[in-house]
Amino acid sequence: MTLTQKQNLIAEIASLLQAKLEIDINSENIKQPINVSENASIEMLTIKESVKAVSGVSEHTIRQLITQGKIPFIRTGQGKRGKILISKSALTEYFR
């Protein structure tokens, strides 16, 4: 495969991915990304810290909300043993 063919293939893949992203963002099932100003910082909490931040909620409840997709999270590390982090603002927004 020549360099020109590779570049054309990469450009085509990029345009397909861009079209897919536009469809997903416009879909009702996909939540819009949170706009954060450059000066604002995002505070992430572990599950144990989340329990302390919201009184009366157990670790099991937080894990269930994550499993049900009601609270967005990220997993650091690899596989199932990676640490789960939850945005503090998303957590407080859910419990309002």
Reported as a single tens digit per residue, the pLDDT across 40-94 is 677 899 999 999 999 889 999 999 999 999 999 998 888 778 899 999 989 988 9
Reported as a single tens digit per residue, the pLDDT across 10-41 is 888 888 887 777 765 555 554 555 555 555 67
Residues 24, 69 within the same domain: no
Domain around 73 = 41-96
Q: What's the pTM value of the predicted model, to 2 decimals?
A: 0.55
Burial of 89 (0-12, 13-18, 19+ CB in 10 A): middle
Q: Residue 71: name the closest of 86, 59, 82 by CA.
A: 86
Number of domains in the chain: 2
Residues 46, 4 within the same domain: no
Task: Show the CA angle centred on residue 81, arms to residues 76 and 83, nearest 5°.
Answer: 35
Residues 62, 45 within the same domain: yes
Residues 13, 46 within the same domain: no
Residues 52, 81 within the same domain: yes
